[in-house]
Amino acid sequence: MKKSTLSITILGTSFSIQADEDSEYLNRLLQYYESVVQNIQNTTPLKEPLKTAVLAGIMLTDELFKAQLSHDSIKENCTKTELAELEKRTLKMIDSIDQILK
C-alpha cells in the first residue's frame, strides 16, 4: 500500500506523519480525534494541551477496549492471551501518542 502523509495541527502543535493507510482514512481518524479533543475542551476545565491530549488518548483507549470487548464477546470469559493482546495494543497506542507529543 502507498504511504500517505497527514499534516496535523492540534493543541498548539503542528507536525506531519506518514502511514501505510489511505489518506481519506487518516483524515477521518484526525477528524474523530479532533472531535474528542473539542469535547474535552468544552466539558472540562483543562487548558493544558498535554493534559488534554492524554485525556483524549485515555478516552479513545476506553472506546477501543469497550468495542473490542463487545466485538469479541469476551466480556465474561476473556482469556489471558486476549487480555495480553489488548494490553499490547493499548500500550502501543500510548507510546505512539507519547512519541508524537515529544
Q: How far apart are CA 99 and CA 102, in angstroms?
A: 5
Cα-Cα end-to-end distance for the chain? 28
Number of structural domains in the chain: 1
**Which pLDDT belongs to residue 101?**
67
| pLDDT tens, residue by residue, 1-37 | 678 899 999 999 999 999 888 889 899 999 999 999 9
Query: What is the domain extent for residue 44?
Result: 4-101
Instruction: Summarize pLDDT for 57-100 with one digit per residue, the tens.
Output: 999 999 888 887 776 665 556 677 777 787 888 878 777 776 77
Indicate yes or no: pTM above 0.75.
no
Largest CA distance in the chain: 43
How wide is the angle at C-alpha 51 spanned by C-alphas 47 and 53, nearest 5°? 105
For residue 4, the model assigns a pLDDT of 87
Confidence of residue 48 (pLDDT cuts 50, 70, 90): very high
